[in-house]
Amino acid sequence: MFCNEDITAIINKALTSVKWGCGFVVDRVAIGKQIKYYREKRHFTQAVLAEKLDVSESYISQIERGVAKISLKRLDEIAGFTGTTLRALVTYGEPDEKRYISEISKKIVSLPSKDMRRLLSIIDAYINFE
């Protein structure tokens, strides 16, 4: 039987990752939204974050719009400056998705095991639909 953490991981994967070959495509737009969310939560302007990272304000803007590529090292630096974690920046596409995942998980855990497997098949089919 699935536990709540398993279901949350499955749903999180469905909402935030696009499977491609042996790896996953990174959703730069979603990560950019997360960076902007946590930057604004700390009341930082793009200029302040750029100064802390020793990059241009334009680069911060490009990251937040999902236009520029960003390294894990740089993401980790941003997480530190914005008072969050690397995981928080890359795990969810939008902060509201945490609430959706929680609500979905609560509904799924009450289902019989057979229905959970059926739902997992539906989620897999949805993700892999071309």
- pLDDT, one tens digit per residue, over 2-51 is 455 555 555 555 444 444 344 555 688 888 989 998 999 899 999 999 99
Domain count, the chain: 2
44 and 87 in a single domain? The answer is: yes
Residue 100 in this model has a pLDDT that exceeds 80: no
Same structural domain, 44 and 1 = no
Domain annotation covers residue 22: no
Residue 88 in domain: yes
Q: What is the Cβ-side half-sphere exposure of residue 2, based on CA atoms within 13 angstroms?
A: 24
Name the residue range of residue 6's domain: 1-17+94-130
Question: Rounded CA gap, 81 and 66, in Å?
Answer: 19
Domain contains 98: yes
Whether 38 and 88 share a structural domain: yes
Whole-number Å distance between alpha carbons of 89 and 95: 10
Asked whether residue 67 falls in the same domain as residue 101, the answer is: no
Same domain, 50 and 78: yes
Question: Are residues 99 and 76 both part of a single domain?
Answer: no
Tell me the per-residue pLDDT of 37-91, one tens digit each, with 9 for 90 and over. Answer: 899 989 999 999 999 999 999 999 999 998 888 888 899 999 999 998 888 888 7
User: Beta-carbon neighbour count of residue 22 at 10 Å?
Assistant: 5
